[in-house]
Structure 1
């Protein structure tokens, strides 16, 4: 970590360029997108301290349901041990650290595949074979529990022993996001794509109105007037906005039923928001998408996009065919972005690269990049 700290100190002059007022500022230096040491520090300063959405409540509806997940190589289990309880804990046997659960499913207990230590679905140690004569107290032991909060149908976890208040963390979004009623939606599919770039490039790309009319001109960009989009910036790098676009389909026509809370809105309504560090929320008149951006390595990222619809969408004629088209449209958009962000990743490691000036359309990027500096190098 000392190497990363020194790198951040060395980047102070470049950070000062990002800290200038928007119309004079430059983007973050390439080193923060390419350095393995800074990436490791991001894990400690961001992903083990911030609240992270790891899935939907509806994905574990029954007692005993569980799924496993990884956050920057930290393996966890999310489970439902009781009807009104959702828990999360480290997927590490208390003996040698072997993962006690894999995939997803329904279980009453987990047996470590190495030495058969047995845990119930809440993570509590039930029995440790061969340890009867051990002088270490093993009664009432449990796998390390994570803090868990449920919000609008989503499961948030926090790795910290003393996490920031979730209520304070989410408060800036409670009232403005009248449109984000995903607890009244149903999950249709998850689109997962791996992209060869640093996670920040994708988070930034999802709020970059500047590029929409260029690389997305053939999909949806021609219907978004970037210069008319105004961002509401909130604390902790968050933001939200509302503008006019079109229904989210290749034809531009609305296919699925209108969301109940958007009945009095135009079919071209578009709402977006960002919750730091890795969530991007997007609504059109008939659907909501929740983009999760997960770091895999300094130069690799996994995108998981949850596609959510009102109940009535699942009974329309030709549902399977229309959903296939919708998923294909989402994948096409990601593919268009991937070419650009992977190109930026190649440039980020070049000693000749100098970050360019920010456009007035990049106000939200400016806000988030400066928050990143506050988190990672507050004295820079």
Structure 2
């Protein structure tokens, strides 16, 4: 492993701090170095609100889903009281992962020594052969509950018990998105991809349109659109808005669904592309929304989860299953195009000859994202 001297010296990033059209891109090791990634985990992902899907992934009491986020095993579950909670998915006996995959259960039971926990509050309710252990009290060994808060059906996880509430993180985003009635939407599909790239490579790509004429020349480049400055934000998010006609979730000429009836203002004129810091992208158009949910794994590996949401009224149409395939076809093409080019960029970033580049006027949010990361990585 290459040791980078003074990796977190602020002077290394002075050129990134300059105004957009004078600035340089991040040093390449910010995308390839495990020490930089470790610092991101410590100063960003273990401190902020991380998007982890929608409540309807666990619709019924006892439904659970287990996953890892930046190396932390987590399980979310809907309790008998209807509330969705998150727990550290590590047994309080000797640390084994308690639950795997997803399903329905009445209790959590560790596969190693059968310690058993209640799904409603994580309390330890069964521990065999512990009667002779001096001072052992089950009430002190429940699963550790993690902070989980919701907005409009979306779930956000925070590992820091001292962090401000989710509403503070989102700021005015719920107001900006209000007319989409996101709380009334239904998740109709969830697809996972394994990416051979750094999480920032994918975020940066998603938040600029400079690449569209090249990467998407056979798909979404065929749709006419305008270019606007970034959305003004009063929260931990950035955004782009493009005016156009026709749903941005369809390829040209494809049949779609009626538009969302509650739309008003700018939402009737185009599509919002929103980044909720640090690693979640929402696309919100006339008839649906989709999300790109990133789970960073290492400096050069990321899991991408793509979710599709439609108004409940739309999903109840007799022709929903037929027409929705047109939307899935669009995402399957354009998202794979983005996946492929992100992997290609990561290969180039690994070269010993690569150096920081410069920004186009069409990449303002890449510059914003990079400085947002630096602010936190250098704060330690």
TM normalised by structure 2 equals: 0.91
1:135-154 to 2 correspondences below 5 Å: 135-140=134-139, 141-154=141-154
Please, which runs of 5 or more residues in structure 2 have no aligned partner? Answer: none
Deviation at residue 356 of structure 1 after TM alignment: 1.4
CA contact (8 A) 2:236 2:276 kept: yes
Q: Distance in 2 between matches of 1:40 and 1:180?
A: 37
Equivalence for 2:98: 100
**Stretch of structure 1 that moved more, 177-186 or 146-155:** 177-186
Alpha-carbon distance in 2 for matches of 1:156, 1:85: 14
Aligned alpha-carbon RMSD (Å): 2.2
Q: Which residue does 1:365 correspond to in 2? A: 366
In the TM superposition, residue 296 of structure 1 has moved relative to its aligned partner by 2.0
1:131 Cα deviation from its structure 2 partner: 0.6
In 2: Cα distance, 1:180 partner to 1:6 partner? 47
Alignment-derived partner of residue 187 in structure 1? 187
Work out the CA distance in 1 between the residues paired with 2:31 and 2:209: 21
More deviation, 171-180/325-334: 171-180
Structure-2 change in CA distance of 1:257 and 1:34 (3 Å): same
User: Does residue 221 in structure 1 map to residue 221 in structure 2?
Assistant: yes
TM-score calculated relative to the size of structure 1: 0.91
1:29-68 matched pairs, under 5 angstroms? 29-68=27-66
Distance apart, 1:57 and its partner CA: 1.2
- In the aligned structure 2, how far is the partner of 1:104 from the partner of 1:91? 13
Are the counterparts in 1 of residues 173 and 235 from structure 2 also a CA contact under 8 Å? no
Q: Distance in 2 between matches of 1:236 and 1:121?
A: 33
How has the CA–CA distance of structure 1 residues 264 and 277 changed in structure 2, closer, same or farther, with 3 Å as cutoff?
A: closer
Provide the residue aligned with 2:88 in structure 1. 90
Give the SS at the match of 2:342. helix
> How many angstroms does 1:219 deviate by?
1.2
The answer to whether the 8 Å contact 2:180/2:260 transfers is no
Q: 1:303 to 1:6 in 2, by over 3 A?
A: same
Is the Cα–Cα contact under 8 Å of residues 207 and 240 in structure 2 kept in the other structure? no
Question: 1:124-273 counterparts in 2 under 5 A?
Answer: 124-140=123-139, 141-225=141-225, 228-234=227-233, 238-245=237-244, 246-247=246-247, 248-253=249-254, 255-262=256-263, 269-273=270-274
Q: Provide the rounded CA distance (Å) in 2 between the counterparts of 1:266 and 1:63.
A: 35
Work out whether residues 268 and 284 of structure 1, in 8 Å CA contact, stay in contact via their aligned partners in 2: no
Aligned counterparts of 1:332 and 1:162: Cα–Cα separation in 2: 41
C-alpha distance in 1, partners of 2:322/2:111?
42
Tell me the residue number matched to 2:77. 79
- Alignment partners' CA distance in 1, 2:22 and 2:173: 29
Contact conserved, 1:34 with 1:299, CA < 8 A, in 2?
A: yes
Work out whether residues 255 and 326 of structure 2, in 8 Å CA contact, stay in contact via their aligned partners in 1: no
Preserved CA contact (<8 Å) 1:254 1:286: no
Between 159-168 and 309-318, the greater mean CA deviation after superposition = 309-318
**Within-5 A mapping of 1:343-354:** 343-354=344-355
Q: Which runs of 5+ in 1 are unaligned?
A: none
Aligned mates of 1:31, 1:74 — CA distance in 2: 24
Q: Do the aligned partners of 1:191 and 1:331 also contact (CA within 8 Å) in 2? A: no
> What is the aligned residue count?
374
